[in-house]
Amino acid sequence: MSKSNKIIIKADNVKKKFGDFYALKGVSMEVHEGEVVVILGPSGSGKSTFIRTINQLEKHDDGKIIVDGTELNDDIKNLETIRSNVGMVFQQFNLFPHLTVKRNIALAPQKVKGISQDEAESIAMPLLERVGIPEQADKFPAQLSGGQQQRVAIARALAMQPKIMLFDEPTSALDPEMIKEVLDVMKELAASGMTMIVVTHEMGFAREAADRFYFFDEGLLVEEGTPEHFFTNPKEDRTKLFLSQIL
């Protein structure tokens, strides 16, 4: 919420096709440093595809994406460096099941940044405290509840000290009673000034934490604005219909 004027992500007319099917038909978006952006839209509208182009888990076919001053294209040499500046949290957690919680968090800093194992593990503990589960450090992911796993996943992404965090429906796979503990961590993160793009249907969280809303439908960005705007007078019919369904 501590927004600066610096544009940290710029997407310009981004297109992505799978076979003949366009999942993104030209999406443009600017995200300022420190901004918290929520992406809404029906299933299959291209929300995941869009945020996955930002760390190039999906290569876009057309258009331009600039992340923190570097354009993402085929010439890019150090994709890994860009990726380590952009943390991602998945719907299915995707923790590494063969590693303990602590190792899950310490692995990437150790291997990507080349620091020692001890040093990397000393990063892990404060992060686990930040997400509220320091006592789980030596357990394996399968021994944790869904909410705890997702909090570990957030800690794991934060361990790379990213400038941007992407969340793809982080609470959709959780039992209702565990959603809050994850959202609380995300709210704290938002308040700390992290730039965040969040795909979510949790309108309570969105209203409280978001600076801007973007509504996607059929691979297009249909409407954007402040949370106020969306809750009081959305313009497009498709937006209205969608909001009436989820609110």
Partner 1 sequence: MNSFIVRSNSWLIKNLFSSKLNILLSFCAMSLTIYFVWSLSIFVFISADWKVVDVNLRLLLLGPFPKEAEWRIWISIFWVAFMSGITYKNISRFQTKHLFNISPLILFILFLINPVNNIMITFLLALSLVCLFIGYNLPANRIFKLNQNTLNILGWAITLPLIVVFLKIFGGVETTKWGGYFLNIMLAWVGIIFGFIFGLIFAIGRASSLPVVRYSCTFYIEVIRAAPLVAWLFFAYLVIPDLLPDIFANKVDIALRVMIVLSAFTAAYIAEIIRGGLQSVAIGQIEASKALGMNGYQTTSLIVLPQAIRAVIPALVSQFIALWKDTTLILAAGLAFRELLGSGKSALAQFEFIGQYNEIYMFIGLLFWIVSFGMSRLSFSIEKDLGLNQEG
Ligand X SMILES: Nc1ncnc2c1ncn2[C@@H]1O[C@H](COP(=O)(O)OP(=O)(O)O)[C@@H](O)[C@H]1O
Residue ranges that bind ligand X, judged by CB under 6 A: 18, 23, 41, 43-49
Measured between alpha carbons, how far is 137 from 54 in angstroms, rounded to an integer? 30
What secondary structure letter does DSSP report for 68?
A: T
Q: Give the range of 33-41, 45-53, 56-64, 99-107 binding Mg ion by CB under 5 A.
A: 45-53
For the bound state, the minimum distance from the C-beta of residue 75 to ligand X, rounded and expressed in Å, comes to 24
Other C-beta atoms closer than 10 Å to the C-beta of 145 total 15
User: What residues contact residue 125 under an 8 Å CB cut-off, 6+ apart?
Assistant: 102, 134, 137
* CA distances, 188 to each of 114, 128, 229, 239 (Å): 29, 14, 24, 28
Does position 200 interact with Mg ion (CB under 5 A)? The reply is no
* Residue 55 or 239 with smaller CB distance to partner 1: 55
Q: Which does 97 bind (CB under 5 to 8 A by kind): Mg ion, ligand X, partner 1, none?
A: partner 1
Q: Give the range of 26-34, 37-45, 156-164, 177-185 binding partner 1 by CB under 8 A.
A: 156-164
Residue numbers 72-101 binding partner 1 by CB under 8 A: 80-81, 83-88, 90, 92, 94-98
Is the separation of the CB atoms in 39 and 47 below 8 Å?
yes
Q: What is the dihedral of CA 119, 95, 54, 174, to 10 degrees?
A: -130
For the bound state, the minimum distance from the C-beta of residue 18 to ligand X, rounded and expressed in Å, comes to 3
> Applying CB under 8 A, what is the total number of residues that bind partner 1?
26
Axis-axis angle for helices 176-191, 146-158 (nearest 10): 20
From residue 36 to residue 55, the character string flagging contacts with partner 1 as x (rule: CB under 8 A) and all else as - is: -------------------x
